[in-house]
Amino acid sequence: MSSDGSTFVQQNDPAELLEVFDAEGHPTGRAKSRAAVHLDGDWHQAFHCWIVRRGGEEIVLQRRSLEKDTFPGKWDAAAAGHWRFRESAEQAAREVHEELGLQVEFRALRYVGRERLARAFANGLTDREHHQVFVLDDDRALSEYAPERSEVIGLAAFTAAGLLQLARGSISSLTASEAVSVDGDGRLRSDSVTVSRDDLVPYSSARLRRMLKSVSHG
């Protein structure tokens, strides 16, 4: 387990090719399988897309599938995934469609920067990622999404101010302004969602606050 109690298990395609990067975010030109990258602790890239609504007043989070290899059932950025070998930013943005069913032009995404995240797990695997972070301004209702159930089992919109308070520890829980869950047949159902800090993917409080501020204010 990692320091936050999570166990990392190779579940997605272990043969998927990823590009190895150095610690500063420079590509090495070397390709390795996802399994080898995590076993050897190589730095690699991930695409993260945060969706904001109402001019940044609300942030949409996804609830990760219970079958995910890391942080199952936790709430996280709206869409995220590994950046494949020789994949462009435009191609990496496929995650928005693959996970959420949204057809989005790449030019609609706003780049906000890179974040580094490293975690070592008790089973010997190490995940070292450069998160390339984008923001999508999209006011559509959550009922218009078509999430892939193997990836996402819920969506919820929270006020950015409330999420910041939760990250700071100023409040112990926060209720979504809108939420849907994905049933066993992949259909969306209106839901009521209240989260605590422990329900979110366990980024450090400082990192979470920094990310929330950057994506909500641009």
> Is 111 a residue whose pLDDT tops 70?
yes
Closest by CA to 114, choosing from 86, 89, 151, is 89
Q: What's 42's domain CATH number?
A: 3.90.79.10
Instruction: For 167-216, write each residue's pLDDT tens digit.
Output: 999 999 999 999 999 998 889 999 999 999 999 988 878 888 888 888 88
On whether residue 4 sits in a domain, the answer given is no
On whether residue 95 sits in a domain, the answer given is yes
On whether residue 34 sits in a domain, the answer given is yes
- Rounded to the nearest 10°, the torsion over CA 148, 150, 153, 157 is -50
On whether residue 5 sits in a domain, the answer given is no
Query: For residue 173, what are the domain limits?
Result: 17-217
Q: How far apart are CA 111 and CA 160, in angstroms?
A: 18
The total of structural domains in the chain comes to 1
Q: What is the H or E stretch that residue 178 is in? A: strand 178-182
On whether residue 8 sits in a domain, the answer given is no
Residue 115 dihedral angles phi and psi, to the nearest 5°: -125, 140
> Is 10 a residue whose pLDDT tops 80?
no
